[in-house]
Amino acid sequence: MKTIMAKSSHDSFSFSRRYHFNFNKTKHNNNSQDHEDDHQILTFKPPKQKHAAVSVSKLRSAIALLGIRSRSCRVVGTIFGHRRGHVHFSVQTEGSAKPMFLVELAMPTTALVREMASGVARIALECERGEKRKKKGKLNEEGIWRAYCNGKKYGVAHRFECGGEEWRILKAIGPITVGAGVLPESGEGCGEGEVMFMRASFERVVGSKDSEAFYMINPDGVGGPELSIFLLRV
């Protein structure tokens, strides 16, 4: 298992800084693209602090203007996916808990890597409000979502219950507080390659019954990307 993670007691968190993961390729004598992709690792770059602060400020200002009483808390968020598979996003109250929200996007894992290379990744998941529905359930219980990343549409995302393979991955990286890396493919061999993951604390902001947002929080003194995930019922 290859990981880059924070281990020391100095890994406290700050709402003012968000961090930037970037993929670098370790090249070998074999010049094939596929061979290079199998040896990608994650490194850190200095954050764009001003940009991150402005975006958070804009969101909170918008909430204030709309008169919404927001609630916030910290959760554990994990982005993961097989190298030749699709992106998954998991939200847990703590690393050892079953996910309270688990969704699979149609977005390929490699596409998210490209989007995050810019330093900013905003994923929006939208579900239908449904005029005929008399009672609306919890937002994180909605099953089907339209998915966007940095303004580009990436098909449909599906919420599902945590199965054996997903739980294997989450348990394997459970002890990690914050970090990114690669897990080997399971012995069953799904044929989609190793599992790439990124794990961090997120600030969960509940604006209303129809809107939630998750903001990745970076450890003090560590640079990284600004990653935000929005859930909207429209």
Helix (H, G, I), strand (E, B) or coil at 18: coil
pLDDT given at position 33: 41
- Amino acid at residue number 65: L
Give the span between the Cα atoms of 210 and 138, in whole angstroms: 8
Q: Which of 48-57, 127-136, 139-148, 207-216 has the lowest mean pLDDT?
A: 48-57
Place of tokens 């449904």: 130
Residue from 21, 16, 47, 17 nearest 197 by CA: 21
Percent of the chain topping pLDDT 90: 50
Position with higher pLDDT, 47 vs 83? 83
Residue from 116, 105, 122, 107 nearest 159 by CA: 105
pLDDT given at position 125: 98
- Residue 171: what are its φ and ψ, rounded to 5°? -70, -35
Percent of the chain topping pLDDT 70: 63
Q: Which two tokens stand for residue 164?
A: 């054996």
- Amino acid at residue number 97: A
Give the span between the Cα atoms of 170 and 162, in whole angstroms: 10
Q: Which of 2-6, 129-133, 162-166 has the lowest mean pLDDT?
A: 2-6
Position with higher pLDDT, 170 vs 66? 170
Per-residue pLDDT at 16 exceeds 90: no
pLDDT given at position 228: 95
Most confident of 22-31, 94-103, 185-194: 94-103
The structure's pTM equals 0.69
18 to 46, 98, 108, 124, 225: CA distances (angstroms): 10, 26, 23, 18, 6
Give me the chain's average pLDDT, please. 75
Compute the average pLDDT of residues 139-151: 95
CA 60 to chain centre: 20
pLDDT given at position 137: 85
Position with higher pLDDT, 10 vs 67? 67
**Residue 193 — pLDDT band, cuts 50, 70, 90?**
confident
Position with higher pLDDT, 47 vs 134? 134
Compute the average pLDDT of residues 8-27: 34
Give the span between the Cα atoms of 68 and 90, in whole angstroms: 26
Query: How many alpha carbons fall within 13 Å on the CB side of residue 17?
Result: 16
Q: Which two tokens stand for residue 225?
A: 């990307």
Compute the average pLDDT of residues 116-124: 91
Q: What is the pLDDT of residues 78-109, one digit of tens each?
A: 999 999 999 999 999 998 899 999 999 999 99
Give the span between the Cα atoms of 40 and 86, in whole angstroms: 17
pLDDT given at position 28: 39
How many Å is the Cα radius of gyration of the chain? 18
